[in-house]
Amino acid sequence: AQKITQTQPGMFVQEKEAVTLDCTYDTSDQSYGLFWYKQPSSGEMIFLIYQGSYDEQNATEGRYSLNFQKARKSANLVISASQLGDSAMYFCAMREGSNTGNQFYFGTGTSLTVIP
């Protein structure tokens, strides 16, 4: 089974609107971390936001927020007030607490296009 599933290959959003990028995960660990990264066309991977499995509050970082639903094993990224510069690939990732090698599992990504 896939550890991280992103079911939206591509998404479009109107500028200034909000958009939700879906991510579901699969783990039997109690301790784990969920991460979102942005990858513009230039290629660099930009860390956006983190959610810990024990965090009771949804993480927020500026215009980014994470809708964490533990029982459903989902960690959707919400981008508010979309800007043209938000057009990029977005990857959801997970790090399991039991993984002593510290590897991350990445989803297949969602390509977001912001329309003026």
Identity of the residue, 53 or 87, whose beta carbon is nearer to other proteins in the bound complex:
53
CB 15 within 8 A of CB 82: yes
Judged by CB under 8 A, the residue of 47, 60, 70, 83 near other proteins is: 47
Do residues 35 and 104 touch, judged by C-beta distance below 8 A? yes
Instruction: Kindly state whether residue 64 participates in binding other proteins, applying the rule CB under 8 A.
Output: no
Are 111 and 91 a contacting pair, CB within 8 Å? Answer: no
Find the part of the chain contacting other proteins (CB under 8 A) among 15-23, 38-46, 62-70, 73-81: 38-46
Residues 6 or more apart from 77 whose CB is under 8 A from it?
20, 21, 23, 36, 48, 49, 64, 65, 66, 67, 90, 92
If the CB atoms of residues 79 and 91 are measured against other proteins, the closer one turns out to be: 91
Q: Does 45 bind other proteins (CB under 8 A)?
A: yes
Closest CA to 114 of 77, 91, 86, 79: 86
Site string for other proteins, 76-115 (x = CB under 8 A): -------------x-x-x-xxx---xxxx-xxxx-x----
Interface residues toward other proteins, by CB under 8 A: 31-33, 35, 37, 42-45, 47, 50, 52-53, 89, 91, 93, 95-97, 101-104, 106-109, 111
